[in-house]
Structure 1
Amino acid sequence: MAIPVETFFLSPDAQGTLQAQIQQMVAEGILSGRFQRGEQLPSTRALAKHLGVSRITVTLSYTELQSNDYLTSRGRSGFYVSDNAPEPPSFKTPARKKDTVEWARAIGQRFTGGVTLRKPADWARYRYPFIYGQTDPTLFDHANWRLCAVKALGARDFSALTTDYYDQDDPDLIEFIARHTLPRRGIIANPDEILVTMGAQNALWLTTQILLTPRRAAAIEMPCYPALRDILTQSRCRLAPVAVDAHGLPPDDVPDGVDVIFTTPSHHCPTSVTMPLERRHALLDRARALDALIVEDDYEFETAFLAPPSPALKSLDTDGRVIYAGSFSKSLFPGLRLGYLVGSAEFIREARALRASVLRHPPGHMQRTAAYFLRLGHYDALIKRSARALNTRRQVMETELKRHGLQIAGQSPHGGSSIWVALPEGTDAILLAERLASRDVLIEPGQPFFFGAETPINFCRLGYSSIPSERIPEGIKRIADALR
């Protein structure tokens, strides 16, 4: 690695000759540990020009440092930090002074608190990872994604790569969403009714900021998506939890005075139950009676491998009260952070302005790469391949859970990638998860999906998107053994 020439500068207050000052700069860099053994120094010509000194001054400095074994010369390639250079002294880090800021008073609004989901960064090292939302490297299409990324880096796409879109999005990605993705959900939308977001969570945040105030009320499913709960709590709106049943959110239980209803009808989070068509119409009627808006988080609709997905709420909406949030991060890989909002043009105009003030737009290169991957058919092929694997894994999961007497409390009739499990009464899922982690098993405790005084502790979500089907039986057995 080459040491940047910008690292060096002469202080106007420095003492000694220019040669001595240059020697001191290099020696201090080595002794402080900033310059590592084997790293290349700037050339004598480049450093002389940068410092505004003669080249012979730099050459003499380097030569003197070489004679003291700080530097070594390698033929015509230049000077390097010597392998025999003095070791940086080991200093104890000085004790940091105690903060004098009273942070309890200084922080005007808190964004921490509550039980949150924890995704271990090293989940792949566990042999039995029953966690949700991670990508199985054996299923992902690395080769074609790489080709699409390289294509998006080409000269033809220079503008898409480098342009500051400000409040706009990649037109190729918007066109694909409008012409291919949304029609599959029965949704017809114009480009000015679509906004690309940094995943579904960003879409929900934008929606909350625009629609809710401390004087307004939001209905939220119970249990619910923990990140949505936190977003709504931070908005300081009034929360109205509505308990879900075997068919999702009951419309009649949505209380009066609610301004916005948040729901996950295709795959309720976390139980994965699906709202039937009749109830979807009833929910629209209830929202109309309340003059409320509906925010539909339609994550995972692509994983309907058992039966075609039900029509999106947005497709049944005749008066523009449904705002639709979708995500490619769930179906491709979570690190992609690409989602989209669909709503009336007036709402999208406000969402576009808010997004521009916070993060401008998702990176153009990622948008164009995703557009190529979608448009060239790789996305559909990946979904089909994943669906076959998920179908096999689900069958094994159901068989093994039944074999060991574990109760399935919720799963989608259309497919999905996880199962909601009710553990024996009195079981603390958080403690169970800690015990299982030491046995090479990861599960997701259910507590973070609830909020309020009476939080059930005996639920967990078992994902099967990241675990091969042949490992599932042993993994379920270890869960059952830990419970016993």
Structure 2
Amino acid sequence: MALPVETFFLHPDAQGTLQSQIQQMIAQGILSGRFQRGEKLPSTRKLALHLGVSRITVTIAYTELLANDYLTSKGRSGYYVSDNAPVPPAFTPSQVGPDAVDWTRAIGQRFSGGDMPRKPADWGGYRYPFIYGQADPELFDHANWRLCALKALGQKDFTALTTDYYDQDDPQLIEFIARHTLSRRGITARPEQILITLGAQNALWLTTQVLLTQRRRAALEDPCYHALRDILSQSRCHVTPVRVDADGMPPDAIPPNTDVIFTTPSHQCPTTNTMPMHRRHELLERAAEMDALIVEDDYEFEMSFLKSPSPALKSLDTDGRVIYVGSFSKSLFPGLRLGYLVGSEPFIREARALRASVLRHPPGHVQRTAAYFLSLGHHDALIRRMGSALHDRREVMSAAIAAHGLQIAGQGAYGGSSFWMRAADGVDTQELARRLQARGVLIEPGHAFFSGPSRSRNYYRLAYSSIPAGRIADGVALIAEEMRALSDLGLNAVGNWP
């Protein structure tokens, strides 16, 4: 029986070359059971005409499927589904009743229920996505990343692609980080003092597991990166939130019995404030007095497009007490999940052993692709392009915020990709976000960044990294409109409030 050509179609959102899309379409038809063994496929000419592609594209796709035993050729008769093609499962899954396990008792430690906010999976479909930490397809260098990935797949890099490094990392990536990335932050480190991680969050988790126990105390900024607070809570250590000011974490507010201090001095999360040099020295002195360690999360230092960033806290460290966390998630794309830890060799040794017991190492092909992208200068070019675009968007957003009378609570003096905003005291920004989402506007409520039961609910973050400059003013206007509507509701409910 011949398969009708009408059953073949290319999905409009499919990725890859036309040839690969056709291969995938036919393979999925066979694997799903829609195309049965012995059934004849349309001729290459007929399918090409139906799909609107060249005949050679269909021929090459058929040839690849023939080589992989999905199809077979019968002389001049044409192509058929092979008798050796994979067969879909013939069984029907049995119905399973409710679990007999009482999971409320069986689970010994809970990791769900944290403060990690959920961003809509289809955020790119919103007209005004003021959301943080997503890649902008208009700015990313797709072509050169693809070339670097193909280069990393080549025979020359077969070892990097296939080897189980166990607890080691790609030497080319380590060398580039040591010689180029860290030197820009004033940091000197040997390969033995660098560990590749699955992003900054994985680096913070490894650090917490190695340094903290149920008897030790950690100090973290308030407000802070919400995932860090979840990580510390899961470790069951004692946690002290330290309220930040315009200069970041005040050293004299850190309790004297603190063992590990977590801070974001270059670009405080989420206020975007930068810790001045005098306070950085004070923080190092305070840590030395307590014999405490400092974990420096140096995210977004690459986004310093207004002026050169201050030296990293790690570069001022003469005692070896600062552990440095870096990431390529913001400067490349978050799905890359590639970061790194820099610290004294005894600490890195333990973090390396822990990482190996959990996941061995980040995939070698990902590491080698990133090493090529960095070493060939594509990353630097991307940073310059992003810096220019973010500078323009920042100016547009700043003007729109001022025009509509919205209040900025924090804006990075060196650049960055977001504004930390404050609404009137009676406005709940979770409700504001819900109302705005219905109008195509995405913002990030700020309550999750704060610690304790009485969290501030009138803060929010506006990012300009994922929205074109031409849409910013209209989006800010909608935010101001909904803000006024919520303020009016509050006034009507309670009489008056500031």
Aligned to 1:448: 448
Aligned to 2:413: 413
CA–CA separation in structure 2 for the residues paired with 1:302 and 1:398: 21
Kindly provide the CA deviation profile for residues 147-191 of structure 1, in whole angstroms up to 9, marking residues without a partner as x: 000000011011100110000000000000000000000000000
Where in structure 1 do 4 or more consecutive aligned residues deviate above 4 Å?
39-43, 93-96
Aligned to 2:182: 182
Closer, same or farther: CA 214–376 of 1 in aligned 2, 3 Å: same
CA–CA separation in structure 1 for the residues paired with 2:123 and 2:412: 25
Closer, same or farther: CA 346–77 of 1 in aligned 2, 3 Å: same
CA–CA separation in structure 1 for the residues paired with 2:185 and 2:285: 20
Please tell me whether residue 228 in structure 1 is matched to residue 228 in structure 2.
yes
The aligned runs of 1:204-219 (5 Å cut-off) are: 204-219=204-219
**What TM-score results when the alignment is normalised by the length of structure 2?**
0.81
CA–CA separation in structure 2 for the residues paired with 1:473 and 1:162: 49
CA–CA separation in structure 1 for the residues paired with 2:354 and 2:73: 56
Aligned to 1:332: 332
Report % sequence identity.
67
User: How far 1:113 sits from its partner (Å)?
Assistant: 1.9
Closer, same or farther: CA 78–192 of 1 in aligned 2, 3 Å: same
Aligned to 1:78: 80
The aligned runs of 1:277-288 (5 Å cut-off) are: 277-288=277-288
Closer, same or farther: CA 162–114 of 1 in aligned 2, 3 Å: closer
CA–CA separation in structure 1 for the residues paired with 2:32 and 2:382: 46
User: How far 1:114 sits from its partner (Å)?
Assistant: 3.7
CA–CA separation in structure 2 for the residues paired with 1:78 and 1:470: 52
The aligned runs of 1:35-434 (5 Å cut-off) are: 35-40=32-37, 75-79=77-81, 96-434=96-434
Q: Assess if the C-alpha contact under 8 Å between 2:115 and 2:230 holds in 1.
A: no
Q: Which amino acid aligns with 1:77?
A: Y
User: How far 1:309 sits from its partner (Å)?
Assistant: 0.4
Closer, same or farther: CA 298–98 of 1 in aligned 2, 3 Å: same
Q: Assess if the C-alpha contact under 8 Å between 1:303 and 1:417 holds in 2.
A: yes
Q: Which amino acid aligns with 1:299?
A: Y
Kindly provide the CA deviation profile for residues 348-385 of structure 1, in whole angstroms up to 9, marking residues without a partner as x: 01111000000000000000000000000000000000
Q: Which amino acid aligns with 1:433?
A: A
Q: Which amino acid aligns with 2:436?
A: L
Closer, same or farther: CA 125–40 of 1 in aligned 2, 3 Å: farther
CA–CA separation in structure 2 for the residues paired with 1:114 and 1:178: 35
CA–CA separation in structure 2 for the residues paired with 1:123 and 1:367: 28
Structure 1 unaligned regions, length at least 5: 1-32, 44-71, 82-87
CA–CA separation in structure 2 for the residues paired with 1:115 and 1:263: 19
Closer, same or farther: CA 41–416 of 1 in aligned 2, 3 Å: farther
Kindly provide the CA deviation profile for residues 229-253 of structure 1, in whole angstroms up to 9, marking residues without a partner as x: 0000000000000000011100110
Root mean square deviation of aligned Cα: 2.1
Q: Assess if the C-alpha contact under 8 Å between 1:129 and 1:441 holds in 2.
A: yes
Larger Rg: 1
Q: Assess if the C-alpha contact under 8 Å between 2:167 and 2:352 holds in 1.
A: yes
Kindly provide the CA deviation profile for residues 16-62 of structure 1, in whole angstroms up to 9, marking residues without a partner as x: xxxxxxxxxxxxxxxxx97422255699xxxxxxxxxxxxxxxxxxx
Q: Assess if the C-alpha contact under 8 Å between 1:303 and 1:416 holds in 2.
A: yes
Q: Assess if the C-alpha contact under 8 Å between 1:206 and 1:354 holds in 2.
A: yes
CA–CA separation in structure 1 for the residues paired with 2:95 and 2:428: 40
User: How far 1:78 sits from its partner (Å)?
Assistant: 3.3
Q: Assess if the C-alpha contact under 8 Å between 1:270 and 1:449 holds in 2.
A: yes
Which secondary structure state, in structure 2, belongs to the residue aligned with residue 295 of structure 1?
Answer: strand
Closer, same or farther: CA 374–95 of 1 in aligned 2, 3 Å: same
Structure 2 unaligned regions, length at least 5: 1-29, 41-71, 84-89, 485-498
Aligned to 2:12: none
Q: Assess if the C-alpha contact under 8 Å between 1:299 and 1:326 holds in 2.
A: yes
User: How far 1:118 sits from its partner (Å)?
Assistant: 1.3
CA–CA separation in structure 2 for the residues paired with 1:97 and 1:38: 33
CA–CA separation in structure 2 for the residues paired with 1:136 and 1:39: 42
Which secondary structure state, in structure 2, belongs to the residue aligned with residue 78 of structure 1?
Answer: strand
CA–CA separation in structure 2 for the residues paired with 1:40 and 1:481: 61
CA–CA separation in structure 2 for the residues paired with 1:405 and 1:174: 47
Closer, same or farther: CA 95–434 of 1 in aligned 2, 3 Å: farther
Q: Which amino acid aligns with 1:78?
A: Y
**Greater alpha carbon shift after TM alignment, 250-259 vs 109-118:** 109-118
Q: Assess if the C-alpha contact under 8 Å between 2:115 and 2:227 holds in 1.
A: no
**What TM-score results when the alignment is normalised by the length of structure 1?**
0.83
CA–CA separation in structure 1 for the residues paired with 2:382 and 2:141: 7
User: How far 1:73 sits from its partner (Å)?
Assistant: 11
Q: Which amino acid aligns with 2:256?
A: D
User: How far 1:111 sits from its partner (Å)?
Assistant: 0.3
Kindly provide the CA deviation profile for residues 97-140 of structure 1, in whole angstroms up to 9, marking residues without a partner as x: 22221111100000012432112211100010000000110000
CA–CA separation in structure 1 for the residues paired with 2:454 and 2:287: 28
CA–CA separation in structure 1 for the residues paired with 2:358 and 2:95: 37
Q: Which amino acid aligns with 2:373?
A: F
Closer, same or farther: CA 390–94 of 1 in aligned 2, 3 Å: same
CA–CA separation in structure 2 for the residues paired with 1:39 and 1:420: 58
Which secondary structure state, in structure 2, belongs to the residue aligned with residue 325 of structure 1?
Answer: strand
Q: Assess if the C-alpha contact under 8 Å between 1:38 and 1:80 holds in 2.
A: no
CA–CA separation in structure 2 for the residues paired with 1:259 and 1:471: 46
User: How far 1:426 sits from its partner (Å)?
Assistant: 1.4
User: How far 1:79 sits from its partner (Å)?
Assistant: 4.4
Q: Assess if the C-alpha contact under 8 Å between 1:115 and 1:447 holds in 2.
A: no
CA–CA separation in structure 1 for the residues paired with 2:209 and 2:231: 9
